[in-house]
Structures are given as structure tokens and as C-alpha cells.
């Protein structure tokens, strides 16, 4: 090992030790011209961008919240989400008395967000599944289960979120169910179909699909199917009794299996020709790219001239590298931008790279090149109109040749902190879309603060 390399590595690992205790989300942010870390700075490195459509779908089995509804985006076309869930029995050996007659049956749905045209009504229909969940099945964003064409319940409403003293909440959706369907249940009073939960699902109600028939306007809402406010209520009377009785069929219990399906129609859009695993460069889409992660529409970023920068700069250490992703002006007025992103390592075929245990490799906040316990997050700064992220360890790894310079994929993600302090990356199923600008007026930038090492 020659002297220059020894000095380089000594400086690098000394820098790692010094900065290990620094908060990576704060060090170097909003640096002023007279307070930059290191001796040199550049923000002129070219960042190429493009829109990618991944081939793999997302596992949505048990992935809350569960979007349902429809919206029409003038930029990316239409999106439709359908939620599928089982319904529990709420007891064993159910009997409803002599000659029970239905008064009403109502499906109440809690929800936590509205995405799309909040000034338009949304209709949700409830359909009875004809095939149930498989014990060995895997359910993804492109999976579906067959259901009857005629709904057993329907409701049209204007979604609303209101603020309470301690939290934001939504008005629950109340969908009136068919009295004929209620009579079917009451007619099975005391039979094997109402003896156990499994019998109820296998012999009578395999589950329900919550579907929007909308074809214009409207929105997608995020259903809280595990909320205690989500219930299926049957009210009825029996002979010689004027009192109204009620039975609740539980939806929120952990026994019930659930997933969601989401489809997109991009006909007539700038990316209508985009095929799976393909890429459309931003110059072909007026300098912008798109992220709509729950349909696997992502943005790819590459740094094509990094080797030239390394050759021109000589032996350097990266003190700080920050990635700036501008959101296209006024593009998120109706369709809110993602609150945060993560960056995944990719290859030349635009696939997300994984480690030996099958975990997706996200860009990390640490200089350990094998860990997955410190994923970095790109946070949206609404006052700046851009996302900003520290990618110092990743850029240093590229310059050291520890990682291949094949680019990264911008995707959605939520980071939670476990009891031992490690961070876990979870998929964000909420139906956001973001338009990222990479034009001359609003380019993607890589801010690099670095120090040159003596030879």
C-alpha cells in the first residue's frame, strides 16, 4: 500500500470516528458560504434522472392503512384502489330468536386521510367475495379476489377530516347494506353457518371487497380496518318484542385477513409508453420525473461523471454530501407530495438490490457498508419546496469503489425506531404522488463539501 493511500484511509477513518457522534440530519445542513465544512465545495456535478416502472408488485397483505376509492390525476392518469377483508362472526352458535326481521344493517368505516379532489363525492360499494382468502396465498398490490357483480351495500359521501383537541380524525363512512343480505344472515340463525367463525367464512361470507365505481373526480381514502370504529352492525327485531336488538360482526380483529389492490391507467400521459423495468429519461418528460410508489412508479437518479470528478480532484475525503430534490412548482396543490422518501440501491436493470437475507438495500446514515439498520430519509421541506438528504457515506463508498455507481431509486418509506435504537424501514401504503423537477430553472443538485489529501 503506497503512502498516499495510507494517508487517505487514515484520514477517512479518523473522519468517521469524529463524526460518528454527530447527528447526520443536522451536520452541514443550511451551511452558509463562510461556514462550509472542508476546504472545497461543488454543486455542479450532473445528476441524471428518469422515471422507472418496477416489475415487482408490493406485498399489501396486512399493510395498513388500506386505500379504497378513485381519483383522476391530470398528469399521471387515474388510480383506483380496492380493499379486501374478511368479516368475523362475533360469537359462536348464534341464534337471533323467533322469526327475526331486519331493521337495518350498516358497515361503518374509519379512515385517516383523503387524497385527490376533496370537493367531490366518493362512492364506495361493498361486494361479496365469491372466492375466499387462501391459507397459502400471498397478496400484492396487483392481486385481487373475485366478487359478485351486484353490491350488497353502497354509500356516497363527501370525505372530511376535522381536528379534535388531541388529534385529527375523520368522519366515519356509513354504508347501508342490503336488507336482503341481512335477511340471509338472520335466516341462518342456529345453523352451522353461524356456529363458528370458520364456518361463517367458509359457508356464508368469504369476505368483502370495498370498491369505488367512480369514473371522474373523487378521491382515495385510507381505511383503518383495524380501528374499533370499523364495524358491521345488524339491527333486528323478533316476534312479540318491539325492542331493537343489535349484533356486531367484527372487522378489526387480528384474525381477519386483509389486503388492497391498486391499479393505474396512464393512457394519454407523458409516460403512457413506459414498460416494466423500463426508464423514460426526464428530458423526454419536460425535465420532470414521477414517484407514485404504491404503483411502483419511481424516480431513478444517476451520477454519470463521478469518476471524472474523482480524477480531477485527486485524493479527497467527503466531509458532507447533500442531495436536493426540487418538487415541480405548484404540482402538489391538489395531489400532496410524499412526506418523505428513501433511496434504494439499484442496478443497470433498474431493480432494487437486496442483501443475502432478501432485505432491500436502502442508502444508510452509517459508514458500515453492510448494515440495514440505519436507513436515511429524504424529508420534504414545504417551505423550501424540496427534499433534502445526507448521502455522505454513500458517496464516499462510491469513491472508494465499495459500491457500484448504478444509481438509486427514489421511493416511499417510513422509518420507525425499535427498542434497541435501531431503525426499521417500513413501506408507506398511502397514495401520494410527487413530481420531481430536474430542469435548468430547478435542477436536482448534489452539494459536495470535501477536503483534498496530500499525495
Tens digit of pLDDT for each residue in 346-377? 999 999 998 888 888 999 988 877 788 888 88
Confidence band of 455 (pLDDT split at 50, 70, 90): low
Return the minimum-mean-pLDDT range out of 122-126, 308-312, 422-426. 422-426
User: Are residue 255 and residue 368 in the same domain, yes or no?
Assistant: no
What is the full DSSP assignment across 359-423?
Answer: -B-B-BSSS-SS--SSB--EEEETTTTEEEEE-HHHHHHHHTTSS----EEEEE-EEEE-TTS-E
Q: Could you give the C-alpha distances from 216 to 18, 105, 270, 340, in angstroms and in order? A: 56, 29, 20, 28
User: Are residue 48 and residue 79 in the same domain, yes or no?
Assistant: no
User: Are residue 295 and residue 253 in the same domain, yes or no?
Assistant: no
Sort strands 168-170 and 77-85 into parallel, antiparallel or unpaired: unpaired
User: Are residue 261 and residue 282 in the same domain, yes or no?
Assistant: no
**pLDDT of residue 445 exceeding 80:** yes
Mean pLDDT of 238-248: 90
Mean pLDDT of 154-171: 73
Residue 270 lies in a domain: no
Residue 61 lies in a domain: no
What is d(CA 415, CA 65) in angstroms, rounded to the nearest whole number?
16
Partner residues linked to 173 by β-bridges: 109
User: Are residue 51 and residue 109 in the same domain, yes or no?
Assistant: no
Number of domains in the chain: 2
3-state secondary structure of 192: helix
- Looking at residue 163, its pLDDT comes to 56
Crossing angle of the two packed helices 392-399 and 306-313, in degrees rounded to 10: 80
In the structure grid, which three cell numbers stand for residue 31, read together? Answer: 451551511
Task: Give the whole-number percent of the chain exceeding pLDDT 70.
Answer: 89
- Looking at residue 34, its pLDDT comes to 41
pLDDT digits (tens, 9 = 90+) for 260-292: 999 999 999 999 999 888 999 999 999 999 999
Residue 36 lies in a domain: yes
User: Are residue 335 and residue 304 in the same domain, yes or no?
Assistant: yes
Mean pLDDT of 314-324: 93
- Looking at residue 101, its pLDDT comes to 95
> What is the H or E stretch that residue 177 is in?
strand 173-177
Mean pLDDT of 45-64: 93
Boundary of a domain, candidates 213, 231, 265? 265
What is d(CA 435, CA 330) in angstroms, rounded to the nearest whole number?
10
Boundary of a domain, candidates 244, 265, 286? 265
- Looking at residue 372, its pLDDT comes to 81
Domain span holding position 197: 66-265
**pLDDT of residue 215 exceeding 80:** yes
Residue 60 lies in a domain: no
Residue 295 lies in a domain: yes
Mean pLDDT of 298-310: 96
**pLDDT of residue 389 exceeding 90:** yes
- Looking at residue 174, its pLDDT comes to 94
User: Are residue 81 and residue 154 in the same domain, yes or no?
Assistant: yes
Boundary of a domain, candidates 205, 239, 265? 265
Residue 389 lies in a domain: yes
**pLDDT of residue 432 exceeding 50:** yes
User: Are residue 286 and residue 219 in the same domain, yes or no?
Assistant: no
User: Are residue 259 and residue 287 in the same domain, yes or no?
Assistant: no
In whole numbers, what is the pLDDT of the chain averaged over residues? Answer: 88
Q: Using only C-alpha atoms, what is the Rg of the chain?
A: 27
Q: Which residue has the higher pLDDT, 337 or 15?
A: 337
**pLDDT of residue 99 exceeding 80:** yes
What is the rounded (10 degree) CA torsion for 422, 425, 428, 429?
-120
User: Are residue 94 and residue 38 in the same domain, yes or no?
Assistant: no
Residue 271 lies in a domain: no
**pLDDT of residue 154 exceeding 60:** yes
Confidence band of 7 (pLDDT split at 50, 70, 90): very low
Residue 139 lies in a domain: yes
User: Are residue 10 and residue 138 in the same domain, yes or no?
Assistant: no
User: Are residue 292 and residue 181 in the same domain, yes or no?
Assistant: no
Amino acid at each position: 500500500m503506497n503512502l498516499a493511500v495510507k494517508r487517505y484511509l487514515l484520514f477517512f477513518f479518523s473522519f468517521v470516528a469524529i463524526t460518528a457522534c454527530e447527528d447526520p440530519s443536522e451536520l452541514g445542513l443550511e451551511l452558509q458560504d463562510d461556514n462550509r465544512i472542508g476546504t472545497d465545495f461543488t454543486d455542479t456535478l450532473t445528476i441524471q434522472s428518469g422515471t422507472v416502472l418496477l416489475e415487482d408488485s408490493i406485498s399489501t397483505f396486512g399493510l395498513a392503512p388500506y386505500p379504497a376509492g378513485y381519483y383522476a390525476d391530470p398528469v399521471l392518469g387515474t388510480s383506483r384502489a380496492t380493499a379486501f377483508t374478511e368479516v368475523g362472526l362475533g360469537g359462536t352458535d348464534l341464534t337471533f330468536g323467533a322469526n327475526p326481521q331486519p331493521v337495518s344493517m350498516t358497515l361503518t368505516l374509519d379512515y385517516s386521510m383523503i387524497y385527490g379532489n376533496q370537493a367531490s363525492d366518493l362512492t364506495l360499494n361493498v361486494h361479496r367475495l365469491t372466492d375466499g382468502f387462501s391459507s397459502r396465498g400471498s397478496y400484492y398490490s396487483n392481486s385481487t379476489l373475485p366478487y359478485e357483480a351486484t353490491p350488497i351495500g353502497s354509500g356516497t359521501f363527501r370525505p372530511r377530516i376535522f381536528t379534535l383537541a388531541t388529534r385529527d380524525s375523520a368522519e366515519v363512512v356509513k354504508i347501508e347494506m342490503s336488507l336482503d343480505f341481512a335477511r340471509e344472515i338472520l335466516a341462518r340463525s342456529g345453523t352451522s353457518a353461524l356456529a363458528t367463525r370458520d364456518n361463517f367464512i367458509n359457508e356464508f361470507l368469504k369476505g368483502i371487497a370495498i370498491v369505488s365505481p367512480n369514473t371522474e373526480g373523487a378521491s382515495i381514502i385510507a381505511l383503518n380496518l383495524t380501528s374499533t370504529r370499523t364495524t358491521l352492525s345488524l339491527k333486528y327485531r323478533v316476534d312479540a318484542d318491539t325492542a331493537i336488538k343489535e349484533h356486531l360482526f367484527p372487522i378489526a380483529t387480528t384474525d381477519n385477513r386483509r389486503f388492497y389492490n391498486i391499479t393505474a391507467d396512464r393512457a394519454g400521459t407523458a409516460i403512457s409508453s413506459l414498460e416494466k423495468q423500463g426508464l423514460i429519461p426526464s428530458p423526454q418528460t419536460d425535465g420532470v420525473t414521477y414517484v407514485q410508489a404504491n404503483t411502483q412508479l419511481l424516480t431513478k437518479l444517476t451520477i454519470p461523471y463521478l469518476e471524472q470528478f474523482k480524477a480531477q480532484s485527486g485524493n479527497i475525503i467527503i466531509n458532507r454530501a447533500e442531495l436536493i430534490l426540487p418538487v415541480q412548482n405548484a404540482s402538489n396543490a391538489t395531489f400532496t407530495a410524499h412526506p418523505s422518501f428513501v433511496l434504494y440501491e439499484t442496478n443497470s436493470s433498474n431493480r432494487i438490490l437486496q442483501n443475502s437475507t432478501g432485505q432491500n438495500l436502502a442508502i444508510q446514515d452509517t459508514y458500515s457498508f453492510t448494515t440495514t439498520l440505519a436507513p436515511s430519509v429524504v424529508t420534504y421541506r414545504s417551505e423550501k419546496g424540496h427534499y433534502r438528504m445526507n448521502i455522505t457515506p454513500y458517496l464516499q463508498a462510491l469513491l472508494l469503489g465499495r459500491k457500484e455507481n448504478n444509481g438509486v431509486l427514489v421511493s416511499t418509506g417510513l422509518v420507525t425506531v425499535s427498542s434497541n435504537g435501531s431503525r426499521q424501514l417500513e413501506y408507506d401504503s398511502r397514495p401520494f404522488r410527487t413530481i420531481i423537477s430536474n430542469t435548468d430553472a430547478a435542477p436536482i443538485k448534489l452539494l459536495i463539501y470535501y477536503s483534498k489529501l496530500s499525495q
